Structure 1
Amino acid sequence: MTALKTFDLTTEGGTAWTVRAVEGPVPDGLIGRAVAATVPGEVHTDLLAAGEIPDPFDGDNESKLHWIGRTRWSYRTTFAWVADGNDRQELVAEGLDTVATVTLNGQELGRTANQHRSYRFDVTGVLDAGDNELVIEFEGPVAAAEAERARNGSWPHTNHHPYNQLRKMASNFGWDWGPDVATVGIWRPIRIESWSGVRIDSVRPLAGVVGDRGVLTTHVGLAWTDSAAATVAVEVGGTRQSVTVEPGTGSVQIVSLVDAVDLWWPRGHGGQPLYDVMVTVDDDEWHGRVGFRTMSVNVTPDDAGTPFVLSVNGKPIYIRGANWIPDDAFVTRLTTATYRTSVQDAVDAGMNLLRVWGGGIYESKAFYDTCDELGILVWQDFLFACAAYSEDEPLRSEVEAEAREAVTRLSTHASLAVWNGNNENIWGYVEWSWRVPLAERPWGAGYYLDVLPKIVAELDPRTPYTAGSPYSFDQFIHPNDERHGTMHIWDVWNQVDYTTYRKYKPRFASEFGFQGPPAWSTLTSVVHDAPLDPYGEQMLVHQKAFEGNLKLERGLGEHLPKWKNIDDWHWTTQLNQARAVAYGIEHFRSLFPLNTGAVVWQLNDNWPVVSWAAVDGHGIKKPLWFALKRVYADRLLTVQPREDGLVVAAHNDTDESWSTEVTVTRRSTARGGAVLARETFALEVAARSGVLNGVPDSTTTDPIREYLEVRAADGTTAYWYFVEDTALQLAADAFTAQVTATADGYDVIVTADALTKDLCLFPDRLDPAARVDSGLITLSPGESHTFHVTGAAAPEQLTSPVIRSANDLVQ
């Protein structure tokens, strides 16, 4: 028997590729001309690297490049093959985007129509000893989607293109935060595997816990070329189990027990021990890691409706999370390092869950590995978003194939917490006027309520499944009912003031958010309107939401005044975004245990854009991120109105009781901040619990010049203002700032003379590489705060718009 051998066909493996336009609305001179290509890669990045197109993200270039998505493209390479004595050779393509014809040495191997799955083609006898030519020709994805619609009929969808006709990343066709850059390409590794005898076809190691023992049930799929028996072995945690199988055996299950196993926990609840697993079948090996844990979701009806409680190892977890979109519109530019940085942004903000949204992709191994290591739970959507989907062939078979592969691949990961059938499609059927155009045709419910839950039950029974988000877990209840299951709150932002958050009591908020612009340096790197204006031509290219900048203006309400100039627009709308989201989350956490989690829309951006993200497309943290870090803290104090008056709501999401003294001080907003009243009370909050304490003195005779400062002895703080900032009397020049150089940047020490509200530093205004460690700092008179800036040299002084506060806006 000859060992399995791999011949890497990627650029990194030494194989040279070209791409050429075959047919379409192509600029003069490009049809048929070979351009150097990178594999894995995408045609946009290849054309950009070759200087054939401008940066798709810059200015209004996006619309000038729409021809790419309507063009047929051909990727081509030649390579030398040396026969190695094995019986079978197979071309393995881990990802082809999307509608493609694969040809080797002039012989068609097959056709593909799904970005979300891999393909394996038998090339035995087709592969030549010596030179070989591999050609993969891709249909233009926009043209292909429209052609499918013409053949099969239309199903309702959001946005411009009929993305629901293809099994391709939906947001690649444009979204209300992302560009329309519909790509083609060999987007994941491609190789030739040569083997004899038996090889590993798949490995599905499901790690669970019984008592204090880890139980690993490893399902191994096998492929054969001969009739010799083989030994399958699994090694984990110092144990080795093996079994001999007869030739032709398609799969085998091996159970391994690990005594006194260390449990895997989400961050904030314990450690993240990971155990190496090795599977061997004769000369073939598979390596991976597992974490031993159990996952469950409790949706048993109670007196208040239907809860949604995610538990790990039997322990309920309060979810502090964010929705995750593809981290770059061109996903092949992402690396292990970029994934690590972005997931670390979630960790540093106090999060414990990321929801991989259904309009994106089943993410890279690097993403899930990082979540395993850092203790970030993963809510994984199946890839259906904001549309109805045909349940007929050929789409149905593609959905089944991709789901089986995704569940098999991702079930390895300890961080995987929830499988979710779709994003907003059940809600869409109920509320978005789909029934007439559907004319009683199936629209996807068969996937969410039958096909997908059966696949999860078969392949990953240890992981909970939910049919959709939002979902009420009963077909006779509106899918977005606050009393039941998961809820999306989008009337805030779209229609009503953010104070509407307090009208809701969601059991679990799995989507909600508010927009704001990216960092100034990020925005101005791509928007070149002169003068810069919120409604400028290029600005609106980088605002994809319907009436987005108008909603930013309307969303100021009574909270903040309308801007006087573009600098004030930028600061005001960033501040309003941060406040709106913080307002909602503080309210939700004050409802604990009725509310069991919040998953904000969204953590990240995939290009420079005005959006709901907390971290912009250049990786700069917006004020929203600093707001999330505060309201997602393990221990939160917030002042909330109740029927009988103000309360101090305390949520203690730690395993230790919280015992401290809280001082409530009514102060003047004026310089000096005179103390008008002060009372203290003892705060006692049990582990993983919340309490409400009445505010001792919340009366005021001068609401425009007074505020409440709530300060625990351990430094946790909260504030209450009797009026909005548009009426609040805030002092001008309320602080002084001193700049001091450090080894890696500089410190800015700010000292307040009067109430200084929501102080932020924007060092990227001076240097786009600069980053600051804190933001949205409120200081009472006499208090100081030090901002630490890295990546830039110290300036001589700081003035607006580099340093801003809410005080600036209301003078």
Structure 2
Amino acid sequence: MTFVPLAADWTVHALAGPVPESLHRTLADGITARVPGVVHTDLLAAELIPDPYVDDNESLLAWIGRCTWGYRTAFTWVDDGSERVDLVADGLDTVATVVLNGTTVATTRNQHRSWRWDVRQLLREGGNELEVVFESALDHAEERERVLGVRPHSYVHPFNAIRKTACNFGWDWGPALVTAGIWRRIGLESWSGARIAAVRPIVRGGRASVGRGVAVHVDVERAAAAQRAELELTAEVAGVQACAVLPAGATTAVLDLAVPHAELWWPRGHGEQPRYELVVTAGGDSWARRIGFRSVELDTSPDHEGSAFSLRVNGEAVYVRGANWIPDDTFFSRSTRDSLAARFDDATEAGMNLLRVWGGGIYESEEFYDLADEQGMLVWQDFLLACAAYSEDAELWDEFAAEAREAVARLTAHPSLVLWNGGNENLWGYVDWEWRARLAGMTWGEGYYQELFPAIVAELAPGTPYSAGSPYGFSHYVHPNDPAHGTTHIWDVWNKVDYESYRSYRPRFVSEFGFQGPPAWSTLFSVVHDEPADPFGPTMLVHQKAREGNAKLERGLGAHIARWDSMDDWHWATQLNQARAVAFGIEHFRSLHPLNHGSIVWQLNDCWPVISWAAVDSLGHRKPLWHAMRRVFADRLVTVQPRPSGLVLALHDDAAEAWQTTAVLRRLTLSGEELARTELTLRVPARESLTLPLPPEIALPGDPRHELVVAELGTGERALRWFAEDPELLVARRPYRASAVEAGGGDYRVTVTATEVLKDLTLLVDRVHPDARVDTALVTLLPGETVEFAVQAPEGLDPLAFLHETVVRSANDLVPPRTAVVGGGAPAAREGERMRFSAS
């Protein structure tokens, strides 16, 4: 079997639509196209359009999504005598007509499928021409909505009437840049006899080695001449081989291999990730992939608190520390293994063990799932429906069935994939978002979630659990977003109420919650050029897609942080508040263990420069939120939590070993004076939790504005409890000494010593250089304590730049002048204070 990619000599032409007059002739003649790719990236490469991410270029370029585009290439074909020559297209975006040598091969209407057509009779020895014409997906969606009926959907465009990535039409964190193009591999595959069409290894894992093995389901396609012949199949893994003979005309077989000596694949934090090469042959064709042996179960059993949601891998419960994943770039073909690996590093280094591939995006590339397998990152995979009602008419039902079967068959081999989920917020929408009256009896997608998808998963991936949706209570008789049952989404905190409201929830599992904050300063102002810069400037709001998003950022500061009085303070305050809000929620959820079995933050990544819920911005800057998540997603977490009876010390040990340590509990003044002290010896069993009341002399303050609780564990963990919000704290504005040195090779060291309490100290190093990165953030120092920050940045920068007051930030900076003090004494005005620093 030979695959020849058709990746060279493509051009793209505008065939119809509102092309600007200045581009008519150029685009009619055609420009060079890159395949895989999309028309936006081709136009960018030809320097015919500005960067769609900058200022309000998104709206200036809306015409692209309303045009018809033709991709053309010429290629040479030499007949090698193969019985079949198939044109294979792994991804066409979206409303495509494929024409080979003047003959229409097919029309497609689904971005989420791959395609294969026998074109041998259409090929010519020597020169050939292939054209793929893409109609406007937006026009098509609007036309199909008129035919199928108007159904509720989020945002402006009817993405629910077409099988194209929903967020490509715009989302509350993403731009409306409606793409077209050959976004995945295309080429010719020549073969004779038989080819392997699909392989589904259904593994048997679990603790017991007895019975461990894999049932290898093999689907083959036969050329006409091979229909009457027997076909020998083999499968081999870990030194074990099985053989089978397919009789004439048969196209499916199951080869069962017992592999009791295979080591189990575990999620990160629970064990190693051994994988074994599985090789399948059928006649002259072969297929190979590394697989892992594991079992996975989903416990949703009822109890006196409601009903659980607990993932178990190899029989062991996994406390989920996860994040939601969106496409990593609006233009999907720009994502590479290296760029995905960088995001996986962000996830693993933050202590995460699960990524949820959200239903408004795509089924990700093989590189994505291979990285997850390699690193032990669990994957929760949504089917691709989100925030909308969907027609169950045949034209969509058949497409959903085809894409779901393909996706499940393709991804079953990955041990990291542990849950299939019917869709995002659609069950909740039907119940709570006034859909029923608007639908007036029309279908809305329930058949997909309750019939089609579970049947496909049961048939093709019987070892993988299925959930009908997120959120979901796993019963027709409970509200789909009831925190006591199954999964819940918590969005009132961002939209309506203070983040302390997280404490009003006792959720079994949180599959979405989050809080917004701006990206890094350099990222934001690489695309926003309002003069003067303002949180409510016109292009700033282009990069804030949430409704009233920047007003919600302001409201969300609540009593926690004073309102800003400069653009610098707005940026720092809202980043800090985002980090605190999410950390607050996670600390609370973990303190509820074992009632709670995990949370999935919205969201890990961004697809463009935007104010959003992401922990890592689109240029790879780790926001303060990321650093907060690294702390609260650590294997071992200690926090001080309020309970009706008073303050408690809450410990969660999600490590494989028992946590044996001492704890020193102190009540201190902000200037470091010890007011009360007690010591404890603690033992928390592995994967368990412990809650202890604090004695009154620790828990009850004399002066809330000038005191805090410090819990320091012998194993290095620390928890702090403040008795007052920042605007009321009697803290100095910049109570520290700082120095900076360039160590060579792009390494810089910044050392800060606190003279009084210094809260949430952070270096915004990208303000010195956009390529600068720092190792830690949100460090709180008690009087006399020192921290050294490691900064990676281009060589030759002035180290003093890392000590500038817009770079060295803390919560102390944001305390209003009426309470800011110097040296713990009388109040002092901000403008009279200066940072103390030296340079080495």
With normalisation by structure 2, the TM-score equals 0.95
Aligned to 1:805: 810
Q: Secondary structure at the match of 1:726?
A: helix
Aligned residue type for 1:410: L
Q: Where does 1:163-202 land on structure 2 (aligned, <5 Å)?
A: 163-202=159-198
CA contact 1:383–1:422 (8 Å) conserved in 2: yes
From 190, 199, 202, the counterpart of 1:203: 199
Provide the C-alpha distance between the structure 1 equivalents of 2:233 and 2:67, rounded to a whole number of angstroms. Answer: 47
Q: Does 1:8 align with 2:1?
A: no
SS in 2 for 1:575: helix
Q: Does 1:147 align with 2:143?
A: yes
What's the counterpart of residue 50 of structure 1? 46
CA distance in 2, matches of 1:569, 1:255: 61
Give the deviation of 1:778 after TM superposition.
Answer: 0.5
Task: Report the Cα distance in structure 2 between the residues aligned to 1:286 and 1:617, rounded to whole angstroms.
Answer: 36
Equivalent position amino acid for 1:558 in 2: A
Counterpart in 1 of 2:828? none
User: Matched residues in 2 for 1:278 and 1:573: separation?
Assistant: 52
Give 1:317's aligned residue: 318
1:713-745, Cα deviation, whole Å (9 max, x unpaired): 111001001111011111122111111222332
1:432 aligns with 2:433: yes
2:795 is aligned with 1:795: no
Name which of structure 1's ranges 210-219 and 305-314 shifts more when overlaid on structure 2: 210-219
Q: How many angstroms apart in 2 are the aligned matches of 1:530 and 1:620?
A: 24
Alpha-carbon separation, structure 2, partners of 1:665 and 1:194:
74
Residue matched to 2:667: 666
Task: Write the distance in 2 (CA, Å) between the matches of 1:615 and 1:566.
Answer: 21
Distance in 1, Cα, partners of 2:258 & 2:326 = 37
Q: What's the offset of the Cα at 1:121?
A: 1.0
Q: d(CA) in 2 for partners of 1:518 and 1:464? A: 36
1:16-31 equivalent positions in 2, closer than 5 A: 16-28=9-21, 29-30=23-24, 31=27
Report the Cα distance in structure 2 between the residues aligned to 1:364 and 1:405, rounded to whole angstroms.
13
Match of 2:302, SS state, is coil
Please give the residue correspondences for 1:566-605 in structure 2 after superposition, counting only pairs within 5 Å: 566-605=567-606
Q: Pick from 216, 239, 251 the counterpart of residue 214 of structure 2.
A: 216
Report SS of the residue matched to 2:303. Answer: coil
Where 1:387 maps in the other structure, the secondary structure is coil
Q: Which moved more, 1:249-258 or 1:379-388?
A: 249-258
**Corresponding residue pairs, total:** 802
- Do 1:356 and 1:381's aligned partners in 2 also have CA atoms closer than 8 Å? yes
Matched residue of 1:618: which SS? coil
> What is aligned with 1:682?
681
Match of 1:32, SS?
helix
What is the 5 A alignment of 1:56-135?
A: 56-135=52-131
Q: Distance in 1 between matches of 2:33 and 2:182?
A: 10
The corresponding residue for 1:397 is 398
Q: Do the aligned partners of residues 234 and 647 (structure 1) sit closer, same or farther apart at CA in structure 2, a change above 3 Å counting?
A: same
**Partner amino acid, structure 2, of 1:600:** V
> Aligned partner of 2:775: which letter?
D
AA aligned to 1:795 is: D
Residues 148 and 393 in structure 2, CA contact (< 8 A), matched pair in contact too: no
Whether 2:759 is the aligned partner of 1:752: answer: no
Aligned to 2:831: none
On the 8 A contact 1:197/1:228 being kept in 2, the answer is: no
- Where structure 1 has 5 or more consecutive residues not aligned to the other structure, the ranges are none
Q: Which amino acid aligns with 2:112?
A: H
SS in 1 for 2:338: helix
RMSD between aligned alpha carbons? 0.9
**Paired residues of 1:25 and 1:71 also in contact (CA < 8 A):** yes
CA deviations over 1:678-708 (Å, ceiling 9, x no partner): 1111121111001111112211111101111
**2:94·2:134 contact (CA, 8 Å) conserved in 1?**
yes
- How far residue 185 of structure 1 moved from its aligned partner, in angstroms, is 0.6
Is the contact made by 1:709 and 1:717 (CA closer than 8 Å) also made in structure 2? yes
Looking at structure 1, the residues matched to 607 and 333 of structure 2 have their Cα atoms a distance apart, in angstroms, of 12
Query: Which piece of structure 1 moves more, 499-508 or 226-235?
Result: 226-235
1:681-720 → structure 2 map (5 Å cutoff)? 681-696=680-695, 697-720=698-721
- Contact conserved, 1:71 with 1:139, CA < 8 A, in 2? yes
Aligned to 1:340, the other structure's residue is in SS state: helix
Letter in 1 for 2:512: E
Is the contact made by 2:379 and 2:417 (CA closer than 8 Å) also made in structure 1? yes
Query: Superposition pairs for residues 336-735 of structure 1, below 5 Å?
Result: 336-670=337-671, 673-696=672-695, 697-735=698-736
- Percent identity reads 54
In the alignment, the residues of structure 2 paired with residue 808 and residue 418 of structure 1 have an alpha-carbon distance, to the nearest angstrom, of 45
2:787 to 785, 788, 792: 785
Question: Which structure 2 residue ranges, 5 or more long, are not aligned?
Answer: 821-840
After TM superposition, the structure 1 stretch with the greater mean CA deviation from structure 2, 582-591 or 229-238, is 229-238
Q: Measure the CA separation in 2 of the matches of 1:616 and 1:565.
A: 22
Q: Runs ≥4 in structure 1, deviation > 4 angstroms?
A: none
- Aligned partners of 2:734, 2:151: CA distance in 1, in Å? 58
TM-score normalised according to structure 1 size: 0.98
**Deviations for 1:228-261, whole angstroms, at most 9, x for unmatched residues?**
2221111100111111212321111101111321
Q: Quote the Cα distance in structure 1 between the aligned partners of 2:3 and 2:644.
A: 69
- Give the counterpart letter for 1:54 in structure 2: P
Q: CA deviation at 1:330?
A: 0.6
Q: Which residue of 2 aligns with 1:160?
A: 156
* SS of corresponding position for 2:289: strand
The amino acid that maps onto 2:194 is V
Question: 2:748 touches 2:799 (CA, 8 Å); kept in 1?
Answer: no
Cα pair 1:224 1:247 within 8 Å, conserved: no
Letter in 1 for 2:156: H
Separation of aligned partners in 2, 1:444 and 1:732:
56
1:288: Cα distance to partner?
0.5
The residue type paired with residue 219 of structure 1 is H
Shift of 1:585: 0.4
Provide the C-alpha distance between the structure 2 equivalents of 1:800 and 1:767, rounded to a whole number of angstroms: 15
Give, in angstroms, the shift of residue 792 of structure 1. Answer: 2.8
Quote the offset at 1:344 in angstroms. 1.3
Distance in 2 between residues matched to 1:391 and 1:500, nearest whole Å: 38
Query: In the TM superposition, what whole-angstrom CA distance separates every residue of 1:721-775 from its partner, at most 9, and x where no partner exists?
Result: 1111011111122111111222332011111111010000011101101100100
Give the corresponding residue for 2:778: 776
Distance 1:300 1:243 in 2: 41
Contact 1:41 1:186 in 2 (8 A): yes
After superposition, the C-alpha distances for 1:498-547 in whole angstroms (9 at most, x for unaligned) are: 00000000000000000000000000100001111000011000000000
Distance apart, 1:334 and its partner CA: 0.4
- Range with greater deviation from structure 2 (639-648 or 26-35): 26-35
Deviates more, 1:606-615 or 1:186-195: 186-195
2 CA distance for matches of 1:732 and 1:439?
A: 60
Q: Deviations over 1:595-632 (max 9, x none)?
A: 00010000000000000000001000000000000000
Contact 2:742/2:799 (CA < 8 Å) preserved in 1? no
The answer (yes or no) to whether the contact 1:171–1:359 under 8 Å persists in 2 is yes
Q: Which amino acid aligns with 2:481?
A: N
Alpha-carbon separation, structure 1, partners of 2:502 and 2:357: 24
SS at match of 2:594: coil
Tell me, yes or no, if the aligned pair for 2:198 and 2:220 is still in contact at 8 Å: yes
1:799 deviation in Å? 1.8
1:430-470 per-residue CA deviation (whole Å, 9 max, x = no partner) reads 01111112111110000000000000000000000000000
* Contact kept in structure 1, 2:741 and 2:799, CA below 8 Å: no
Range moving further from structure 2, 187-196 or 604-613: 187-196
